[in-house]
Amino acid sequence: MERRIIKLRKFMNENDLHAMLVSKPENVRYFSGFSGSAGMLLITNNSNKLLTDFRYIEQATAQAKQFEIIRYSATLWKTLADLVKSSDLSKIGFEGDFITYDGYLEVVDTLPMISLVPVKLDNLRMAKDDAEIVSIKKAVEIADNAFLQILSFIKPGMTEQDVALQLEYYMRKLGAEKPAFDTIMASGARGALPHGRASEKVIEVGDFVTMDFGAVYKGYHSDITRTICMGKANTRQKEIYGIVLEAQLAGVKAVAPGKVGKEIDTVSRDIITNAGFGEFFGHGLGHGLGLNIHEEPRLSPTNIHTVLLENMVVTVEPGIYLPNWGGVRIEDTVLVSTEGCQILTASNKQLIELD
């Protein structure tokens, strides 16, 4: 944690801030280790304080060993105001992309003498440290193993919800804290929905089934998508799958330090566009992940500024979605490395046809 706090203090000094209020749960956990649902950090150049309520004092004491734990009993803002006044702070950063407008007004009302500066801290989490990478790899391993198990479970006649529930059960049995997000399970024509969450639709012979899911391990997320066929794939299915697989493999190969998101997105997108399906690939190629399932950097046509660095973790997930037909998406989680990238997802990407 000390290196992370040093990084935050460097950011504070670069922005001429006397202190930083950290309130987004992911950032509270990142800088302190505290994973409770009620807490805020007040970090200055020479002190670390974690404010929480009675429910979390014991947990905070155990998890945030480098922080002074301060219990608030009236309101968080009143306790915060007392701390700020006693510390002679005048310019404080706060997470403007997280605190609500009502919350902001409460801070202004409680601390009228303070200059409040909105900042964003998420970018400080983009490059992962060794401990984070270990947790992400474990989350990926859990999802991979759950996918292997689901291949022997899924059968025609089951509903998408049946399969999604079993997939989540497998991940929990394998050590996941919870699913990384609501599992996407889209079969047949529903595969044209990029975010088609599991429904009561019955899976039929001949359906493509797109499964997009992930596990959370020690707060860190994994993300994987595989599309399988229930039975033998027809010529059209093989064609679409082959185009997406080619685009996905090329996208993974393009990931490397020094590139911006648009460069990598373009590699995959050009393959799909040149095959005549560009209008049916409407989302970005991928995104960062970590304590959130969607983080910076983005691999998208609009990201022309954020440069990939070693130890960033991103997804590569092209897809084709055809209305009234279905869709295909293939996704891996990859770690940016000096050699380019390391593919963390181990599940087979070749077309799987289940008898």
Q: How sure is the predictor about 63, in pLDDT bands with cuts at 50, 70 and 90?
A: very high
Residue 311: which region, alpha, beta or left (left: phi > 0; alpha: psi -120 to 50)?
A: left
- Helix, coil or strand: residue 74: coil
> Where in the chain are the domains?
2-125, 130-354
pLDDT digits (tens, 9 = 90+) for 181-201: 999 999 999 999 999 999 999
The owner of tokens 């997000």 is: 181
Whether 316 has a pLDDT exceeding 90, the answer reads: yes
Residue 207 has pLDDT above 80, yes or no: yes
What pLDDT does residue 106 have?
82
What integer pLDDT is reported at residue 349 of this predicted model?
97
Q: Which helix (H) or strand (E) holds 87?
A: helix 76-87
pLDDT at residue 111 is higher than 90 = no
Task: Classify domain 130-354 at the CATH class level.
Answer: alpha beta
C-alpha 352/C-alpha 319 separation (Å) is 17
Question: What is the pLDDT, as a whole number, of residue 24?
Answer: 96
CA distance 60 to 72: 13
When comparing pLDDT for 116 and 276, which is higher?
A: 276
Mean pLDDT of 87-115: 86
Cα 32 to Cα 69: distance, rounded to the nearest angstrom: 11
Question: What is the three-class DSSP state of 313?
Answer: strand
User: Helix %, strand %, coil % for the chain, to 5?
Assistant: 40, 25, 35
CB 289 within 8 A of CB 314: yes
pLDDT digits (tens, 9 = 90+) for 147-191: 999 999 999 999 999 999 999 999 999 999 999 999 999 999 999
Separation of alpha carbons 101 and 81, rounded Å: 18
pLDDT of residue 4 exceeding 80 = yes
Q: Give the model's pLDDT for residue 144.
A: 98
Average the pLDDT over 117-134 and give the result.
96
Helix (H, G, I), strand (E, B) or coil at 125: helix
Mean pLDDT of all residues in 47-57? 95
* Bond prior to 25 in cis (omega within 30° of 0): no
Q: What percent of the chain has pLDDT over 70?
A: 100
Q: Among 342, 317, 340, 343, which residue's Cα sits nearest to residue 330?
A: 317
Q: Would you place residue 81 in the very low, low, confident or very high pLDDT band (cuts 50, 70, 90)?
A: confident
DSSP letter string, 219-272: TEE--EEEEEEES---HHHHHHHHHHHHHHHHHHHH--TT-BHHHHHHHHHHHH
Q: Sorting pLDDT into bands at 50, 70 and 90, what band is 1?
A: confident
**pLDDT digits 0-9 by tens, 286-315:** 999 999 999 999 999 999 999 999 999 999
* Tens-place pLDDT, residues 13-49: 999 999 999 999 999 999 999 999 999 999 999 999 9
What CATH number does the domain located at 2-125 have? Answer: 3.40.350.10
Mean pLDDT over the full length of the chain = 95
Task: Write out the DSSP string of 182-230.
Answer: SPEEEEGGGGG-TT-B--SPBP-TT-EEEEEE-EEETTEE--EEEEEEE
Radius of gyration of the chain (CA): 23
